Structure 1
């Protein structure tokens, strides 16, 4: 073998620059093709976990109803006894989430709660509630939540762009003896149905709601009924009655009859019990108290309310997360959100759902007929 032939063989042993660039380009194309599939698989797994979380919550609610004959109230807040906002007198303002903890295999946390005191610094001994206050089980958290500005999974800072607010002031941290600055949150809220989410709070109501005090012709469906957030106030919020809770959970209990399975005359498989929410888009989302535990179906699914600062009252800016328009269901799942129904099933509803059908699914005894084509 001559020296020239040996040199040619040596030169052919490696890639040329062009060949190397071609290989890199092929690898880049393969990665670009595979990445969406990987992301889709991950989201499918996250959505499956979210569905499982809601099913566990649904089972706990059913077990609570079986033991007590009624579903839990949205919040232990009766303003006929005392002011409700900070937790006063007979009001500890705890939400339905706290009441079903024994059915969620969280009896130890439940036993750490002093139900004669509010979960805030208004309690006679605000340190006593701190241990329970700082415990949020992963079942209450959707893995698709990107947790912007979160301190750790299930917690936000108090205030700030992505922060949240408790009801009143948080219980005292026994280490610092100062109100806790972290706020426990949840990705799942109970439905008050198609009661007004805005209505008389900022008349004439939200852009998706039937203006308050409107008399519609027979057969024309309403979007919004007297009793904002499931209370029994009238449309103008000036007096009690004739508002009734249309869904499962009212954030106040004065004048509201407990919800039973028998009262769900539209059918449990056709009535939303709970659904997803995003703490970063709801300023008052908090795990323990009544003001952060519900949503309504008059607001479109995944309506964006992430902006700050606060809403300008009297000049509705329905994109602000401080506004009443934040009281809608929302998730980070592409195209919609997961919902728990009264029969324990979990369904994914799209952003494009017919608003009339969505409101009908929110009411438990409205007598509406929901077509599968409208979902």
Structure 2
């Protein structure tokens, strides 16, 4: 006589295990984009706050001096201070960007004092002790290149130097050129002009209709190149503004596929660049890792998101301080 007994199972069957794994995979697949979006939202908010701090610092600077800081200081922006001849021979303060003048207003007073008291005996401004390291408030946390502190001074063998970079750059206007002799803004129609400080009264289009700051990406250096021009990427370089390193143009919309033009730049796919030595044809485009556009600070101190779908015409008007055009909604 056989007696039937119920036996408890102690394990999943293979089919059940596969079903559970599939369900977990689906849930993870649904959850990861939400987590990534939440993280990007937090990074974007932090980026907005840093842009806001920089914009307010510029307002404080203007209140102190009656004008905005010049895009860069010095007799010219292309002569080499360490050369034995030329208008900037031996002058340390020749190619310092506008961010340098803003240091006391972004809680970097000691660094500003180091610059003011520096006597480099003809060194370029990016060689001085104390130039290395990053200023956290100048970096966008969404950019993988944020925190960059190295550039290349020579190639073969590569001479790696420490310096300071910034994701946040000033608007030079819509013309898309970096004219070394333009000290009045006759060719550059933005707020930041080489060796000339714009006043708020010069912004006749209105401070709430004029773009003042935005962001660029900081590409990595190309150490495999044998040419210094496309090996070291100086976009965002603070101390040695060899061209528009801390200035951008609104000639093309945000995140454009059009290449930047610089004296020193590598050429990664996400930040294309053409090396040029012509001072009248250098410009950077605003770019970011924020999906769909960039963030910009207006001359009134507010920060807003600018979609990459903005029309070229509207964006150019936005970058000009005095073209007299009315902005279309965007």
C-alpha change, 1:32 and 1:122, in structure 2 (3 Å) is closer
Could you list the per-position Cα deviations for residues 271-293 of structure 1 after superposition, in whole angstroms to 9, with x for gaps in the alignment? 01111011218932212233311
C-alpha change, 1:107 and 1:241, in structure 2 (3 Å) is closer
Q: Secondary structure at the match of 1:347?
A: strand
Q: Secondary structure at the match of 1:295?
A: strand
- 4+ residue segments displaced more than 4 Å: 84-87, 115-120, 230-233, 304-311, 323-326
Contact kept, 8 Å, 2:261 with 2:282, in 1: the verdict is: no
C-alpha change, 1:102 and 1:356, in structure 2 (3 Å) is same
C-alpha change, 1:351 and 1:85, in structure 2 (3 Å) is farther
Shift of 1:155: 1.6
2:226 maps to what in 1?
none
Matches of 2:320 and 2:200, distance apart in 1: 13
1:279 maps to what in 2?
218
Matches of 1:31 and 1:242, distance apart in 2: 54
1:290 and 2:241 aligned: yes
Q: Secondary structure at the match of 1:55?
A: helix
1:71 and 2:52 aligned: no
Normalized against structure 2, the TM-score is what? 0.79
Contact kept, 8 Å, 2:163 with 2:239, in 1: the verdict is: no
1:158 maps to what in 2?
152
The number of aligned residues is 297
Matches of 1:293 and 1:283, distance apart in 2: 13
Shift of 1:242: 8.7
Residue 275 of structure 2: which of 322, 329, 345 is its match? 322
Matches of 2:117 and 2:94, distance apart in 1: 7
1:362 and 2:311 aligned: no
1:185 and 2:165 aligned: yes
C-alpha change, 1:67 and 1:84, in structure 2 (3 Å) is farther
2:136 maps to what in 1?
138
C-alpha change, 1:119 and 1:361, in structure 2 (3 Å) is farther
In proportion to residue count, which structure has more strand? 2
Q: Which runs of 5+ in 1 are unaligned?
A: 164-178, 198-227, 234-239, 312-317
Contact kept, 8 Å, 2:81 with 2:122, in 1: the verdict is: no
Over the residues paired in the alignment, what is the CA RMSD in angstroms?
Answer: 3.5
- 1:214-293 matched pairs, under 5 angstroms: 228-229=177-178, 243-250=186-193, 252-253=194-195, 256=196, 258-280=197-219, 283-285=233-235, 286-291=237-242, 292-293=245-246
Q: Secondary structure at the match of 1:229?
A: coil
Could you list the per-position Cα deviations for residues 21-79 of structure 1 after superposition, in whole angstroms to 9, with x for gaps in the alignment? 10010000000001110000010001001000100000100000000101000100223
C-alpha change, 1:15 and 1:355, in structure 2 (3 Å) is same
